[in-house]
Structure 1
């Protein structure tokens, strides 16, 4: 792969679900790090379409589109060592129906407090910082 073919920006969408001062995180199969649930858009998907599809695939729940609200957008260096690659994460809250369960490529879900911040990648840490500053994470 040549330098020019490496994407410089990874554009993602994430679901921010906080309960009892803890945020929902997911660990993909074969990885040792947790992420805020969500993922990359496919083709010309909107943020909303990406969010609904990814959360259904990963966590077996249906987000209620009428409750989706933008929380913030964060950018930081990618977790995997890749020189100059930046991850952009557009974060949304939403209510859901169904029972949360790991599915597809997700091996484990967990509820993280602010003290668990070192277990998530740099872009997720920025969200943790904002949520903690707002008094939303224990």
Structure 2
């Protein structure tokens, strides 16, 4: 059986201290990079700009997002599914974000802290290594 695909837009967000932002949705135990699924007619950048406002209160114009490409990994919260993410990079200050909507918790993490967190495959395989240049 083939895995079903979930299309999303995701953000690699770093602060001046080199930490990366991850979020955990309500009812889940796994942290992941912020982002979400598109609404009809939205571009990947428009999707991410909307999701960032909804989830963490960060306002970013779609054309201010820096595209990093498309990445695919096992979905964190949907067994048997793969997530296909259009990924963008942005910088933000830690005090510019707060957990909103379905986000239960957010954390700014370092590579050392990542080792002790339950993280989504997309984050561990691709997005956090991009954030930290490894």
Same fold (TM over 0.5): yes
Q: Which structure 2 residue ranges, 5 or more long, are not aligned?
A: none
TM-superposed deviation, 1:69:
0.7
TM-superposed deviation, 1:86:
1.0
When Rg is computed on C-alpha atoms for both structures, the one with the higher figure is 1
Per-residue CA deviations over 1:74-106 (Å, capped at 9, x if unaligned) read 1112223623x2111221123569931111111
- The answer for the alignment partner of 1:18 in structure 2 is 14
- The answer for the alignment partner of 1:93 in structure 2 is 89
Distance (Å, rounded) in 1 between the aligned partners of 2:27 and 2:89: 27
Distance (Å, rounded) in 2 between the aligned partners of 1:130 and 1:23: 10
Distance 1:29-1:80 versus aligned 2 partners, 3 A rule: closer
Higher relative contact order (CA 8 A, sep 6+): 2
TM-score normalised by the chain length of structure 2 = 0.82
Name the count of aligned residue pairs.
129
TM-superposed deviation, 1:114:
2.0
Matches of residues 35-114 of structure 1 in structure 2 within 5 Å? 35-80=32-77, 82-83=79-80, 85-94=81-90, 99-114=96-111
Distance 1:67-1:78 versus aligned 2 partners, 3 A rule: same
- The answer for the alignment partner of 2:118 in structure 1 is 119
TM-score normalised by the chain length of structure 1 = 0.80
- The answer for the alignment partner of 1:128 in structure 2 is 128
